[in-house]
Structure 1
Amino acid sequence: MEKQFKISSALKNIIGKDLIVDDFVAIFELVKNSFDANSKHVEVSFKNIIDGESKLVIQDDGKGMDLDDIDNKWLFVAYSAKKEGTEDYRDEIKSKRIHAGAKGIGRFSCDRLGEKLSIYSRRNENSKFSKLTIDWADFEDNMQTNFDSINVNYQLVDSCPYGLSVGTILEISHLRSKWGGDKLISLRQSLEKLINPSQNNQGDSFSITLNACEFFRA
Structure 2
Amino acid sequence: MEIIKNCYDADSNKVKVTFDIGVGEGKLKISDDGTGMGRGEIINGFLKIASGLKVEYPVSAIYKRKKAGRKGIGRFSTQRLGRKLILRTRREKDSIGWELLVNWDDFESGKTLQDIKVILKQYEKATVGTEVIILGLRDTWSDAQIKRAWRGVLSLQQPFPIAPVENKPSIDPGFSVDFYKGGGLYKDEMVIADLKTEILDHLHAVVDMMVDKEGSVFWRISKNKLGESFDWRKYEYTSKDIEGSNKEIGLTNVWMKAYHVVLEPSLLPSFVYTRVRDELSKRGGGGSVPKWFQGCALWGFR
Residue in 1 aligned with 2:190? Answer: 216
Q: Secondary structure at the match of 1:56?
A: strand
- How many residue pairs are counted as aligned between the two chains? 175
Q: Secondary structure at the match of 2:5?
A: helix
Is the contact made by 2:59 and 2:66 (CA closer than 8 Å) also made in structure 1?
A: no
Matched, 1:53 2:25: yes
Match of 2:17 among 39, 44, 52: 44
For 1:1-218, what aligned pairs fall within 5 Å after superposition?
28-47=1-20, 49-85=21-57, 88=60, 90-93=65-68, 101-124=69-92, 127-140=95-108, 142-143=109-110, 145-160=111-126, 165-196=127-158, 204-214=173-183, 216-218=190-192
Alpha-carbon distance between aligned partners in 1 of 2:156 and 2:139, rounded to the nearest angstrom: 22
Q: Secondary structure at the match of 2:70?
A: helix
Identity of aligned residues (%): 35
Cα 1:208/1:73, change in 2 over 3 Å: same
Unaligned runs of 5+ in 2: 162-170, 184-188, 193-302
Alpha-carbon distance between aligned partners in 2 of 1:57 and 1:172, rounded to the nearest angstrom: 6
Alpha-carbon distance between aligned partners in 2 of 1:80 and 1:188, rounded to the nearest angstrom: 28
Is the contact made by 1:43 and 1:209 (CA closer than 8 Å) also made in structure 2?
A: yes
Quote how far apart the aligned CAs of 1:54 are.
0.9
After superposition, the C-alpha distances for 1:135-164 in whole angstroms (9 at most, x for unaligned) are 001111x42x2224422011112225xxxx
Is the contact made by 2:158 and 2:176 (CA closer than 8 Å) also made in structure 1?
A: no
- If each structure's helix is expressed as a fraction of its own residues, which one has the higher value? 1
Is the contact made by 1:116 and 1:172 (CA closer than 8 Å) also made in structure 2?
A: yes
Is the contact made by 1:60 and 1:169 (CA closer than 8 Å) also made in structure 2?
A: yes
Is the contact made by 2:150 and 2:177 (CA closer than 8 Å) also made in structure 1?
A: no
After superposition, the C-alpha distances for 1:101-121 in whole angstroms (9 at most, x for unaligned) are 423223210001000000000
Larger of the two Rg values belongs to structure? 2
Q: Secondary structure at the match of 2:139?
A: coil
Unaligned runs of 5+ in 1: 1-27, 94-100
The one-letter code of the counterpart of 2:136 is: H
Alpha-carbon distance between aligned partners in 2 of 1:110 and 1:193, rounded to the nearest angstrom: 21
Alpha-carbon distance between aligned partners in 2 of 1:155 and 1:92, rounded to the nearest angstrom: 28
Alpha-carbon distance between aligned partners in 1 of 2:119 and 2:50, rounded to the nearest angstrom: 20
The one-letter code of the counterpart of 1:174 is: G
Alpha-carbon distance between aligned partners in 2 of 1:70 and 1:188, rounded to the nearest angstrom: 26
Quote how far apart the aligned CAs of 1:122 are.
0.4
Is the contact made by 2:36 and 2:129 (CA closer than 8 Å) also made in structure 1?
A: yes
Cα 1:190/1:87, change in 2 over 3 Å: closer
TM-score (norm 1): 0.70
The one-letter code of the counterpart of 1:158 is: E
Quote how far apart the aligned CAs of 1:77 are.
1.7
Is the contact made by 2:27 and 2:134 (CA closer than 8 Å) also made in structure 1?
A: yes
Alpha-carbon distance between aligned partners in 1 of 2:85 and 2:94, rounded to the nearest angstrom: 25
- C-alpha RMSD of matched pairs (Å): 2.7
Quote how far apart the aligned CAs of 1:81 are.
0.7
Alpha-carbon distance between aligned partners in 2 of 1:190 and 1:173, rounded to the nearest angstrom: 22
Alpha-carbon distance between aligned partners in 2 of 1:63 and 1:153, rounded to the nearest angstrom: 22
Is the contact made by 1:81 and 1:87 (CA closer than 8 Å) also made in structure 2?
A: no
Alpha-carbon distance between aligned partners in 2 of 1:139 and 1:131, rounded to the nearest angstrom: 20
